[in-house]
Structure 1
Amino acid sequence: MVKMRPVIGITTYVEPATWGVWHNLPTTLVPHDYVAAVTGAGGRAVLLPPDDLDTDVLRILDGLVLSGGSDLGPELYGAPAAPQTVTRPERDAAEMLLARAALTRDLPVLGVCRGMQLLTVAGGGTLHQHLPDVLGHDRHRPAPGVYGEHEAGFTPGSRIAGLMGEDTRVHCFHHQGVDDPGTLTVTGRAEDGTVEAVEDPRHRFVLGVQWHPEVTRDKRLFGALVEAAA
């Protein structure tokens, strides 16, 4: 009997896309790096379009990736919108419902960039809406479509420290960041103090990272998710 791969759901975007003869067609999509990272780690990727009607899909999932993308609506953490904040309310509604239900079920969850911020807000935390206003630089999002690179430091003994080992260089692209982590535990920071990793030790696997491990197909993080989901 062939053992089934753990089924990992990946949240997706709805954005205008162009291919072939089709132009600016509203499209459910996610960068293929996410799928390749899950597949390369031994999982079976399933794409989840925004859907806030129910969370029944969690019954057939073994793990969940909350993917990156647009900013979270600041009303979710009781703040007015800053001029630089760009939101997708349909994603917010669907993914917040999904994330909270996944946590209730103790489903293994990996949050990437926006996904880490979503986990933070689901845990009662808040965000900085525009890091350059806080840090005085834009090295976490140096140019359109260009990833920043920097070293991160991790809390000794934390899950992320054990996974990352001595290779602590990360690829990031974001202008928002965690302010108050809520019920989550901060286990990683950049040299400028920006929160780079959060965990929830109350669950068997809840990890959020501010960088993009899918870009490098990082088997350390995606492998840990798939292993927890097996």
Structure 2
Amino acid sequence: MSKYIGITMRQERCQTYNEIRDEIDITFYDFLAKCGYVPILIPNNCIILDSYLRSIDFCGFILSGGGLPYPYSNEMTERDYVEKRIMNFAKEHELTVLGICRGMQAIVINHGAELIKVDNHVATVHQIKTVNRMEFKKNSFHRYALKEKNENISILATANDNVIEAVHIKNTSLYGIMWHPERNEEFDIEDINLIRRIFKEEDC
């Protein structure tokens, strides 16, 4: 039974050494281990990604946060191509994808939606309400949010100011959340259970 979850990384230029680096918050390792999964880091390289997709039995994928996806960034990057390839592969093979913050933005953009700039959602904690009327406090680190749903998107949760905080792409196993479960000093049991529900054990 596979427990491997592929996770994408942000790409940053290190001015000191004139290098372009793939980066990930190492708290993801502990968070996914707590959920019962093993993270496989996906480099921002489509050739290596294709090799991984052929050789590794993935349970699913996480599109991580950090930065903005195209066209809200300056240019289409290798990360944009990698994440688009992952989404297409996951749909073809009926695998689950969870987008976190930028990852959710990438998913909704790929399904015809637009983003809008929002206020008071950077470095804060706010209340969110799910469609099942459950309420939770979640962190927030984003300046852009989904403008509105379209025929491809179901809204799963919103903040008190009606900013969309979680979605599901209809007829797929693609999900998105705008908060960062890996950034809590103590991981929330709600987030751990969410990961376990989304990456259903029978699919892994």
In which range does the TM-score fall when normalised by the shorter chain? 0.7 to 0.9
Question: Where does the alignment leave 5 or more consecutive residues of structure 2 unmatched?
Answer: none
Aligned residues of 2:2 and 2:59 also touching (Cα < 8 A): no
Deviations along 1:14-54, one digit per CA (max 9) or x if unpaired, are 21359xxx746422211012222111111111000112346
RMSD: 2.4
Residue 140 of structure 1 pairs with residue 137 of structure 2:
no
| Alignment: residue pair count | 194
| SS, match of residue 166 in structure 2 | strand
**CA distance 1:64–1:50, change in 2 (3 Å):** same
Contact 1:172/1:211, CA 8 A, preserved across alignment: yes
**CA deviation vs aligned residue, 1:94-121 (integer Å, no higher than 9, x gap):** 2112212212221111110011111111
Q: Deviations over 1:149-200 (max 9, x none)?
A: 00011112xxxx7xxx55x110110101101334121111111111101013
Q: Distance in 1 between matches of 2:36 and 2:8?
A: 18
Counterpart among 196, 200, 204 of residue 227 in structure 1:
200
Letter of the aligned partner of 2:3 in structure 1? P
Contact 2:157 / 2:165 at 8 angstroms: preserved in 1?
yes
More strand by share: 2
Does residue 34 of structure 2 align to residue 58 of structure 1? no
Q: TM-score, normalised by structure 1?
A: 0.75
Q: Is the 8 A contact 2:115 2:147 kept in 1?
A: yes
Q: Which residue of 2 aligns with 1:144?
A: none
Give the number of the structure whose alpha-carbon radius of gyration is greater: 1
Contact 1:110 1:208 in 2 (8 A): yes
Q: Percent identity?
A: 27
- Alignment partner, residue 98 of structure 1: 86
Q: Hey, what's the Cα distance between the residues in 2 that align with 1:197 and 1:92? A: 21
Instruction: Return 5+ residue gaps in structure 1 as ranges.
Output: 75-80, 132-137, 142-146
Secondary structure at 2:183 match in 1 = coil
1:177 equivalent in alignment to 2:145: yes
Q: How many angstroms apart in 2 are the aligned matches of 1:181 and 1:49?
A: 30
